[in-house]
Every structure is written in C-alpha cells, then in structure tokens.
Chain A
Amino acid sequence: MSVREFAERGADLQLVGIQKRFPGFTAIEELDLTIPAGSFFALLGPSGCGKTTTLRLVAGLEEPTRGRILIGGTDVTDTKSHERPVNTVFQSYALFPHMTVIENVAFGLKRRRIGDALGKAHEALRLVELDHLAQRRPQQLSGGQQQRVALARAIVNRPALLLLDEPLGALDLKLRRQMQLELKTIQEEVGLTFLHVTHDQEEAMTMADTVAVMNKGAIEQMGAPAELYELPRTVFVANFLGQSNLFTGEVVDTTSTALTVDAGGTRIVVPTARAQRHRGTVAVGVRPEKVTLHTHEPAGSADRNVVGPGRVLDVSFSGVSTQYLVDLGALGTVLVFAQNVGFGPVAALGSEVWVSWEIMHGFGLDDVPGEAGRFPADDSTTSIAAQRRDSLVSELEEG
C-alpha cells in the first residue's frame, strides 16, 4: 500500500502476538487483536495499561519487541511511521506552532505530493467548520478548535486507519459531546477505520461499536458496549466499566439453568449461562441500578434474589436518581441506584431495608476480587488511596 495515494476505504488492522518491553518494565505482555475495516474500535483501560503503547506501535512511533502488525493484510511491522497509511490525532494535538492552521492541515498532503493540497486542506477545514480561521496560528485557537484542526489534519490524508489518542480528554463536557458527535458523523461519511484509545468508559461506550477493555498489558474482554456492560466477565471489567455489587462464595448447587452460590450464609442465584465458572469459589454480581430497595421484607419469589435485612449506611441524592449504600452484614455492602419516581428518598439513613434483584440480571465472573489485584472490591479509604497512588505511579511511568 503506497502512501502516495488515498486509501479507498478503511483497512482492517491485525496485531499478532505483540509484545513490547521497555527498559525496566513490560508495557504489553501478549496482544492479539483484529479490528475489522470500517469499524469504530475503542481501547479502554486505566492509565498504564498499555493502550497508548498499542496505539504508538500501530502508528509506527514504537517498534514491537515481538509480533507483527498488519494493515489491510500488508505487514507493516518494519515500515517506518511516515510510510504507513495511518494518521493520529494526538492527545496533545501536536499542532506545529510555527505554521498556520492551513499549513498544518496541508502538511501531510504536501509531503505525499498530492495535487491541490491547499484546496483539499480547506475542504477538510470546512468539514470541521474552521475554514474561517485558516490563517491563524494554533496558539490563537481555543482548545476545542485546536482539537478540530488536529482532526482535520489527520482525516484530510484519508488514512486507511485513524488513531485517536484520548483526543477529547482536554475538552469540557459540552465540547466533548459536540466532538463525539462530529467524529461519529465523519466516520459514517468517510468510512475510515477508527482506533480510539481512552480511559473514559463513557466516551468509549457512546462512540465505539466495539470496546476492548485493557488491563496490565492484555485485553480482558472485548465486545459491543452493551454486551460488556451487561455481562462483564472479570472483576476488573465489572468494576472499571460502571459499578458493580460483587459477592464471593462457594457454588452449592448447579443445574442447567441456575447456579446457586452461598455467600456468607446468603444464597444467591445466577443464570448458569451468565456465569463463567460453575465450581468452587466464584464471584457473582449485579449492577446497582438493577437492585430494588424495600422498606418491608418482600415476599420470596422464584425469579428474584432477596437479601436482608440490612441498614442504610449512606444516601446521596443526585437529581435523577438516589444512591443508597446498604450494609448487609456478612455479605458486605451493596450499592443501589433508585430512580426518583416519587418525591424524596425511599429509605432514610439508618433504616432497616431489604434488597432484591431479578436472577436474570446477575452475572458470574471468571475470577474473584483480590485475585485481579488492581481494582479490588474494597472501598475503604486506605485502599482507595493505594489505588490512586498505584495509578498515579503507572501514569508517571507511562508518560
């Protein structure tokens, strides 16, 4: 594939057995990944998980220690960055400060000696609605405008693959929404393959058709956003992508449809099809918004798990919904999100409550909290502080 001509459409990207080591630490242990042409793919993970390194490997800014990279079926592992049909929207935008906006956008076209570079650059600027600022310097633009220039500078080259490195990180909420929409529109119009790297789960879920959750240099789980959310397979995914109530216990009964777990004396049932492990110690969970709060003990039901009584530890009102933290004794604490359909909270602080959820909403994980290490389901202040510190340290290492 020559960089002298435009890519007709997006190309698929294949990473085969990629490993990347830096002096002192391993960024990517073993990575196999295929991103089909024309898709919007997000790599989601905390800082230090290796997602930015993956992006830099694809862009050709780093060389893999082992493994191959294929774009559209062509092996580009040994191809230098400037010869790859790939463009990047950098996290810092990296707009050349000594060039005007239009010079920035036309830069790639001129390097490839593509005719009418300026005309095409103006066209790309019109697409991001910034053509009227073409003669400005990047420093004279706002953050959001700079971001759009960076986007125009990348897509004007019609790369087979467009890489986005947390490009929305520096924007405020309103601009983010605007840019997310714009990116989606551009992708639908131009039909490129997008590889988007982010630590923001909401951004990944709203934009991508496929999300891969990365942790410690490997992909934990991959799938459509809704699928990942509704059926997480590991403790890390369950906690990183939204919030989860997790219970650890022994499997006491397995049928073809239901799996019963004894967690600290309480029996919790999950569908067998939604459980990864069917024997021994397992972690099962449910999303907080699937849990219902009762002020009186509800009648037992075959398709609901009922747990209680417990005590309301904390109530926080956030407009649309109210969050309750319920202490269930041996079972630990449970988080409940309740829509504010009536007036005021359902249960007062300190009152006695029961919780229940439909069995079909539960899920069983492949590992148990503590095994996964990085995000144990422990929310004491010291462990939160330790986590924050770990993530800061890894962030520093990555930068």
Chain B
Amino acid sequence: MAFAAFATAEAQAEAPKRRSRIALFLLLPGILYLILFFLTPLISLLLTSLQAPAEFGDIGVYDYAFNWQNYVDVVQQYLPHIARSFGYALAATVFALLFSYPLAYFIGVKARRWPLLQSLMLVLVIAPFFISFLLRTLAWKQLLSDESFIITSLKALSLMAPDAHFTGTPFAVIFGLTYNFIPFMTLPLYTTLERLDTRYLEAGSDLYAGPFAVFRKITIPLSMPGIVAGTLLTFIPAAGDYVNASRDFLGGPDTQMMGNVIEANFLVLLNYPAAAALSIILMAAILVLVGIYVKRSGTEDLL
C-alpha cells in the first residue's frame, strides 16, 4: 500500500539499463503533470506569500513584491494557532500509536494462524475510510454533544462537572484527530508486525528476557519502521487538518488550528499572502520535523 512509501528506502536493485527514450516517454506526461500542478503551485504559493496589498485596489487584490514582513505578521498574529496545530497533532499521534499498537499486534502476530480472520479484521480497520470523513466526525459531535447519552451519563456519574462541555474543547479536537487517523497508524504498524519473525521473540525468551523485556528490547525495535511510518502518516495530515477543529465540527473558538486560519484567510478574508505565508511555514516546519525525526529514530539501517 501507499504507506510503504515512507518505510521502504529507495533500496532498488540496479534497474537494467535500457533504451531511455521509452523511459522518457513513460515518465514525461506524469512528471510534467506534477511539475505543473504540484511544483509550480508551491512556487506561486511562495510568491503569493511575499505579495503586498495593491496600492489602489479592492480587498483581495495584491501585487508581487518581496514583502517578507508577511511572515513576521502571521507568526505574531497566529502563534497560538501554530502551537496548537503541532501540539494537537503530537497528542493525536501519541494516542493513535497507543491505541493502534496492540490492535496491529493482535492482527499481525496473534491472528497469523487464521488468515481469513486476519484479512477481515484489516477490512474493519479501514472500514472508517468507506464512510465520509466529515460524516464520521459529525457523528462523534452528536454522540458527544451536551445532550448525548454518553455525556449525560458521565455527568450523572459525577465523572464530569455538570456545567462542563466536551465538544468545543481541545480534548474533543484531539479525540477527533486521533479517531480519524487511527487507520493510517494501524496499517503500517500491521505491515511491519505481520513480518515480525517470532523466532526472535523466542530467542529473547530463551536468553532470560521476561515478556516485558522481550517487548521493549526486541518487538519495539524490530517494529520501528512501522512506528516511524505510522507516526508520520498520522502527524502530517493531523497538523494540517482543519475539519476536526472547525466550529461546526468538534472544535470551538479556542481550538482553531493553522488549517482553519489558512482557510479563513484564503476563502473568507481573501488575505492570500497571509494564507500563503502560513502554508509555507506549515510545510517547512513539517519537513524539518520529519527530517529530524527520521534521523533520530535511526530507522535507516533497519530498512
């Protein structure tokens, strides 16, 4: 699946050297497409982020300039949103990992003897993909609203203050992000755990490692490629998400993330340079974080 893209390095065996004219013919249309609709948009995003308002124009009209002040402005204005984006995404990634690891372990290791059960459980993991992302988030909103059975029960049991809310809080946003990206975490974890050679676990046990030590010293390090792939696949979209945090979904006025302000600036306020500058910051921050993470987790020689 697509998730392997992150886990497997370009460890290609040397491809045979053949007529490169055919290769060019095969590559050119797709690559050209990506240059036109992925690469140049990023450049125009960069250019837009440096635009200045037109001198005699309406709202939403800008001229090309080198107005790097835009970056200073958006950072000053939206620092809490930037912090929230990465904070929420980090929390959701951790929760999704804690939720998915035992699940992926059961499907990939314990259920090996029953292949049909294994594939049916995988279907259940990706089943949320088959129903609209927005509708499942809205479903949680209804299920966790102040009048819902879950919340009224919690209040009746005094597990929640009578005047407390769940929707509209950071917890609700993190909850929604976690739920929505669980399949992205579980699938790559499953892929590595499914290939985990249990003979290593037996060898560990033979060498006086108790169940916990076997897990910590052998299972976790051997599943590191899956952990790295899963955390990246969860963290990146979570940091850029704006549906969960939106006021109409699980968020509130105090939970807005970078995605929300990018959307508002671009589509509502027509402040394109601000939206573009925020986008560039988001992308750059993610690339830097991912780079550091992959380096530090030392997964290169495991791959």
A residues sitting closer than 8 Å to B (CB atoms) are 3, 59-61, 80-83, 86-88, 90, 92, 94-98, 107-108, 111-112, 137, 153, 157
Contact status of A87 and B209, CB under 8 A, knowing A92-B199, A96-B218, A98-B302 = no
Asked whether A108 lies within 8 Å of B208 as measured between CB atoms, the reply is yes
Partner of B301, one of A88, A94, A137: A137
Residue of A nearest to B206 (CB): A88
Is B287's beta carbon under 8 Å from chain A?
A: no
Asked whether B199 lies within 8 Å of A94 as measured between CB atoms, the reply is yes
Asked whether A59 lies within 8 Å of B207 as measured between CB atoms, the reply is no
Among A98, A108, A137, the one with the most B-chain Cβ atoms within 10 Å of its Cβ is A98
B173-197 CB mask vs A (1 if < 8 Å, else 0) is: 0000000000000000000000001
Given A88-B203, A111-B209; 12 other pairs, CB 8 A cutoff: A60-B205, A82-B204, A82-B209, A82-B210, A86-B206, A92-B199, A94-B203, A96-B200, A107-B217, A108-B207, A111-B207, A111-B213
| Cα–Cα distance between A324 and B226 once the two chains are bound (Å) | 61
Q: Which B residues are in CB contact (< 8 Å) with A92?
A: 199
Q: Which A residues are in CB contact (< 8 Å) with B172?
A: none
Partner of A80, one of B205, B221, B301: B205
Asked whether A107 lies within 8 Å of B207 as measured between CB atoms, the reply is yes
Asked whether B199 lies within 8 Å of A90 as measured between CB atoms, the reply is yes
Asked whether B208 lies within 8 Å of A112 as measured between CB atoms, the reply is yes
Asked whether A87 lies within 8 Å of B206 as measured between CB atoms, the reply is yes
| Cα–Cα distance between A3 and B207 once the two chains are bound (Å) | 10
Among B200, B218, B221, the one with the most A-chain Cβ atoms within 10 Å of its Cβ is B200
In the assembled complex, how far is the CB of residue B261 from the closest CB belonging to chain A, in whole angstroms?
A: 42
Residue of A nearest to B207 (CB): A108
Is B222's beta carbon under 8 Å from chain A?
A: yes
Is B202's beta carbon under 8 Å from chain A?
A: yes
| Cα–Cα distance between A107 and B200 once the two chains are bound (Å) | 12
Partner of B202, one of A81, A83, A108, A157: A81
14 residue pairs bridging A and B, Cβ less than 8 Å apart: A61-B206, A82-B206, A82-B209, A90-B206, A94-B199, A94-B202, A96-B204, A96-B222, A97-B200, A98-B221, A98-B224, A98-B302, A107-B209, A157-B208
Among B213, B217, B301, the one with the most A-chain Cβ atoms within 10 Å of its Cβ is B217
Among B197, B205, B301, the one with the most A-chain Cβ atoms within 10 Å of its Cβ is B205
| Cα–Cα distance between A87 and B206 once the two chains are bound (Å) | 6
Q: Which A residues are in CB contact (< 8 Å) with B204?
A: 82, 96, 107
Q: Which A residues are in CB contact (< 8 Å) with B206?
A: 59-61, 81-82, 86-88, 90
Asked whether A81 lies within 8 Å of B302 as measured between CB atoms, the reply is no
Q: Which A residues are in CB contact (< 8 Å) with B208?
A: 3, 82-83, 108, 111-112, 157
5 A-B pairs with least C-beta separation: A108-B207, A94-B203, A111-B208, A81-B205, A98-B221
In the assembled complex, how far is the CB of residue B11 from the closest CB belonging to chain A, in whole angstroms?
A: 13
Contact status of A98 and B222, CB under 8 A, knowing A111-B208, A111-B213, A157-B208 = yes
In the assembled complex, how far is the CB of residue A157 from the closest CB belonging to chain B, in whole angstroms?
A: 7
Q: Which B residues are in CB contact (< 8 Å) with A94?
A: 197, 199-200, 202-203
Among B202, B221, B224, the one with the most A-chain Cβ atoms within 10 Å of its Cβ is B202
Residue of A nearest to B199 (CB): A94
Which B261-303 residues sit within 8 Å CB-CB of chain A?
Answer: 301-302
In the assembled complex, how far is the CB of residue A303 from the closest CB belonging to chain B, in whole angstroms?
A: 54
Q: Which A residues are in CB contact (< 8 Å) with B197?
A: 94
| Cα–Cα distance between A86 and B200 once the two chains are bound (Å) | 16
Residue of B nearest to A95 (CB): B203
B201-239 CB mask vs A (1 if < 8 Å, else 0) is: 011111111100110011001101000000000000000
Residue of B nearest to A98 (CB): B221
Q: Which A residues are in CB contact (< 8 Å) with B224?
A: 98
Residue of B nearest to A86 (CB): B206
Residue of B nearest to A94 (CB): B203
| Cα–Cα distance between A151 and B200 once the two chains are bound (Å) | 15
| Cα–Cα distance between A371 and B207 once the two chains are bound (Å) | 43
In the assembled complex, how far is the CB of residue B7 from the closest CB belonging to chain A, in whole angstroms?
A: 15
| Cα–Cα distance between A111 and B207 once the two chains are bound (Å) | 8
| Cα–Cα distance between A112 and B209 once the two chains are bound (Å) | 8
Residue of B nearest to A81 (CB): B205
Asked whether A153 lies within 8 Å of B207 as measured between CB atoms, the reply is yes
Q: Which A residues are in CB contact (< 8 Å) with B221?
A: 98
Contact status of A61 and B205, CB under 8 A, knowing A97-B222, A98-B221, A137-B301 = yes
In the assembled complex, how far is the CB of residue A360 from the closest CB belonging to chain B, in whole angstroms?
A: 47
Q: Which B residues are in CB contact (< 8 Å) with A107?
A: 204, 207, 209, 217
| Cα–Cα distance between A247 and B84 once the two chains are bound (Å) | 88
Contact status of A87 and B207, CB under 8 A, knowing A96-B218, A98-B302, A111-B213 = yes
| Cα–Cα distance between A285 and B274 once the two chains are bound (Å) | 96
| Cα–Cα distance between A107 and B214 once the two chains are bound (Å) | 11
Residue of B nearest to A23 (CB): B113
Residue of B nearest to A59 (CB): B206
Asked whether A82 lies within 8 Å of B205 as measured between CB atoms, the reply is yes
Among A81, A83, A112, A137, the one with the most B-chain Cβ atoms within 10 Å of its Cβ is A81
| Cα–Cα distance between A297 and B139 once the two chains are bound (Å) | 99
In the assembled complex, how far is the CB of residue A62 from the closest CB belonging to chain B, in whole angstroms?
A: 10
| Cα–Cα distance between A182 and B204 once the two chains are bound (Å) | 24
Q: Which A residues are in CB contact (< 8 Å) with B302?
A: 97-98
Q: Which B residues are in CB contact (< 8 Å) with A97?
A: 200, 222, 302
Residue of A nearest to B224 (CB): A98
| Cα–Cα distance between A96 and B209 once the two chains are bound (Å) | 13
Residue of A nearest to B210 (CB): A82
Residue of A nearest to B113 (CB): A23
Residue of B nearest to A85 (CB): B208
Q: Which B residues are in CB contact (< 8 Å) with A108?
A: 207-209
| Cα–Cα distance between A97 and B203 once the two chains are bound (Å) | 12
Q: Which B residues are in CB contact (< 8 Å) with A157?
A: 207-208
| Cα–Cα distance between A83 and B202 once the two chains are bound (Å) | 13
| Cα–Cα distance between A83 and B210 once the two chains are bound (Å) | 8
